[in-house]
Amino acid sequence: MPYRRSALPILLFLIVCCSGNSRAQTVPPDRSSLENGEGAGMAAYAERNGYPGPKHILELEGKLNLSDEQMKQIEAIYEEMLEKARIKGKEVVEAELRLDELFSAKSASEESIRSLATQIGWLRGELRAIHLLAHLQASVVLTPEQSARYGELRHGDKGHH
């Protein structure tokens, strides 16, 4: 029995440590996407209505017959979008973590909640605009035929805008 009693503090320590790390990894739930600059559906309206995404254009470049100049333009749009999205995504994560900390420290007030929630909404709106604007910029690089082909490849839509 002495072994079991000596293992208990170690087990409790591991539970506390692991549960803390788990919470930090899941707040916010979309943390990984935010930190990696991924769109995660933020530009779905653009995509669905015929504004192709630069990431997907690059993935389909061989099937879209992009010229070298088009490739350079799309790569530049994508890289700029990715850099801005990663920066803004990290800002979102930091604000979300501050909101989580307010509650875990039991120091949340109406004012602090409204302030941080508003800030998070604004940051997420800015992040969404980054992704939507990249679709807008990419749409003018493709020819109408390439845009139609993109729609077919991405959505199986023969009459894609």
How do the residues of the chain divide into helix, strand and coil, expressed in percent and rounded to 5?
80, 0, 20
Tell me the chain's radius of gyration from C-alpha atoms. Answer: 22
pLDDT in tens, 94-137: 999 999 999 999 999 999 999 999 999 999 999 999 999 999 99
Residue-level pLDDT at 14: 46
Residue-level pLDDT at 26: 65
Task: Evaluate the CA torsion angle 114, 122, 124, 153 in order and state its sign.
Answer: positive
**Is 150 in contact with 56 (CB distance < 8 Å)?**
yes
Predicted TM-score of the model (pTM): 0.80
- Which H, E and C letters describe 106-158, residue by residue? CCCCHHHHHHHHHHHHHHHHHHHHHHHHHHHHHHCCCCHHHHHHHHHHHHCCC
pLDDT in tens, the chain (161 residues): 454 555 555 544 444 444 455 555 568 999 999 999 998 899 999 999 999 999 999 999 999 999 999 999 999 999 999 999 999 999 999 999 999 999 999 999 999 999 999 999 999 999 999 999 999 999 999 999 999 999 999 988 755 44
Residues 6+ apart with CB under 8 A from 124: 92
